Amino acid sequence: MERVIVVGGGLAGVRAVEALRAKGYAGRLTLVGEEPHRPYDRPPLSKAVLVGEREDTTVDASWDSLDCELLLGHRATGLRVEDRVLETTAGDLPYDGLVIATGAETIRLPGPGHQHVIRTIDDSLALREKLVPGARVVIVGAGWIGAEVATTAAKLGCEVTVLEAAPAPLANALGPELGALTAPWYAEAGVRLRCGVKVASIEEGGVALVDGEFLPAEAVVVGIGVRPSLGWVSGLEVENGLVVDASLRTARPEIVAVGDCAAWWSNRYGRRLRVEHWDAALNAPDVAVASLLGEEAVYDDPPYFWSEQFGRMVQYVGHHPGAERMVFRGDPAADRSWAVFWLDGDLLRAVLTVATPRDLMQARRLLAAGTPVDAEKLADPSVPVRNAVLAVS
């Protein structure tokens, strides 16, 4: 293998470059990144960067020692798999091995008005200029990003309204029952939350709703989700992401995929997953690169992410759809700190914690190890999660 190309200039891309060199690949190496910036971390964009605490989140990488050609400000435009050629705005690039890490792109709403999104550092910096005291800010979408932006905007003195088409915040991610438990957080922060509201279009100066109402705003933020950035791909199977196996290989062994664009097979959950979070972008490239270089490796880490919203650290690990039951630890209506566990029989499938990082850390270990748990002990806050193990008779 004489030339490997990594297409995608995010965290997954740079970690793939590092993994290639760490595993002894000594051939030519090129990274193609659509943005002009060197790879950077995205989680701080809706937090520290937006609030003005940070200006730069560039990933610390030793590019000189990595001996990697950087084609920044260029994007992939096509793929000829039989010829092993990546088409880009910098020209055609032949490859022996290809790592696809192009991430995802934000979904936008119809209308001529300006829509702020949080996907790049330039997006975050542009919105930050609008978040001044008294500014009317309308956020469409009460998901993770919407809640984080609302948190920051309210902290900066803006008049914030959040619109959500579902009956509760985070309904798509957690279900309406759990999502509804976060609704009071908005009121505590002085944010107006309106659920069950459908947007018709984004207009100059505000948001037009389906029922004819118009909400004026100095800034409109749209956070209704993303889609894999794979419009340039041909010759490979794409189904809610680039289809890869548990080793992150496509049907072509010389092509692997990682990050937000990869739909990988999870042996743990018996289904295909596409994970849009930092943890997967950090850890999956090591497996993808091992597979590309002919090693046997499997990626099956339980998905993990976190969100900081309204003064609370919210963390989640696992995959809960289809789980048999939920077990609460603490009372969400009365306690500021609480958790919920999803179980299949006596096995943990997923965990959500609010302001209880120790519970999350201990539960994550039990989940990863497949350790049977005692539901009654899990529900008792006086019992450390690590001790909620099913007794062997």
pLDDT digits (tens, 9 = 90+) for 57-89: 999 999 989 999 999 999 999 999 999 999 999
Region at 370 (left for phi over 0; alpha for psi -120 to 50; beta for the rest): left
Judge if 116 and 91 occupy the same domain.
Answer: no
The helix (H) or strand (E) run that includes residue 144 is helix 144-155
Judge if 320 and 349 occupy the same domain.
Answer: yes
Q: Are 109 and 202 in contact (CB under 8 A)?
A: yes
The angle subtended at Cα 57 by Cα 55 and Cα 58, nearest 5°, is 120
Predicted confidence at residue 353, as pLDDT, reads: 98
pLDDT (average), residues 343-371: 96
pLDDT digits (tens, 9 = 90+) for 154-174: 999 999 999 999 999 999 999
Report how far Cα 324 is from the mean position of its chain's Cα atoms: 25
Q: How confident is the model at residue 392 (pLDDT cuts 50, 70, 90)?
A: low
The residue segments making up the domain with residue 382 are: 311-387
Pick from 195, 222, 249: which residue ends a domain?
222
Pick from 193, 222, 251: which residue ends a domain?
222
> Mean pLDDT across the chain, nearest whole number?
96
Q: What is d(CA 247, CA 266) in angstroms, rounded to the nearest whole number? A: 10
Please check the confidence at residue 313 and state whether its pLDDT lies above 90: yes
Instruction: Judge residue 117's burial from the number of C-beta atoms within 10 Å of its C-beta, 0-12 exposed, 13-18 middle, 19 or more buried.
Output: buried
Q: Which residue has the tokens 């309308």?
A: 138
Predicted confidence at residue 312, as pLDDT, reads: 95
Q: Which residue has the tokens 């542009």?
A: 126
Please check the confidence at residue 263 and state whether its pLDDT lies above 80: yes
pLDDT digits (tens, 9 = 90+) for 296-307: 999 999 999 999
Query: What are 58's strand-pairing partners?
Result: 40
Q: Are 116 and 105 in contact (CB under 8 A)?
A: no
Judge if 231 and 287 occupy the same domain.
Answer: yes
Predicted confidence at residue 391, as pLDDT, reads: 78
Domain-located, residue 87: yes
pLDDT digits (tens, 9 = 90+) for 39-52: 999 999 999 999 99
Q: Are 383 and 362 in contact (CB under 8 A)?
A: no
Nearest CA to 123 out of 223, 199, 53, 8 is that of: 223
Predicted confidence at residue 243, as pLDDT, reads: 98
Q: What's the CATH number where 319 sits?
A: 3.30.390.30
Please check the confidence at residue 202 and state whether its pLDDT lies above 90: yes
Domain-located, residue 100: yes
Predicted confidence at residue 89, as pLDDT, reads: 98
Predicted confidence at residue 338, as pLDDT, reads: 97
Please check the confidence at residue 393 and state whether its pLDDT lies above 90: no
Please check the confidence at residue 357 and state whether its pLDDT lies above 80: yes
Take residue 319 and report the two structure tokens written for it. 């995959």
Q: How confident is the model at residue 189 (pLDDT cuts 50, 70, 90)?
A: very high
Judge if 113 and 21 occupy the same domain.
Answer: no
Q: Are 219 and 131 in contact (CB under 8 A)?
A: yes
pLDDT digits (tens, 9 = 90+) for 121-147: 999 999 999 999 999 999 999 999 999
Please check the confidence at residue 346 and state whether its pLDDT lies above 70: yes
Take residue 202 and report the two structure tokens written for it. 């984004």
Q: What's the CATH number where 268 sits?
A: 3.50.50.60
Judge if 155 and 168 occupy the same domain.
Answer: yes
Q: Are 99 and 4 in contact (CB under 8 A)?
A: yes
Q: How many domains does the chain have?
A: 3
Percentage of the residues of the chain whose pLDDT score is greater than 70: 99
The residues, ordered by sequence, that sit 6+ positions from 355 with a Cβ below 8 Å of its Cβ are 312, 313, 336, 337, 338
Q: What is d(CA 248, CA 270) in angstroms, rounded to the nearest whole number? A: 15
Q: What is d(CA 259, CA 285) in angstroms, rounded to the nearest whole number? A: 8
pTM (two decimals): 0.94
pLDDT (average), residues 233-243: 97
Judge if 49 and 74 occupy the same domain.
Answer: yes
Please check the confidence at residue 288 and state whether its pLDDT lies above 90: yes
Please check the confidence at residue 212 and state whether its pLDDT lies above 80: yes
Q: What is d(CA 325, CA 375) in angstroms, rounded to the nearest whole number? A: 10
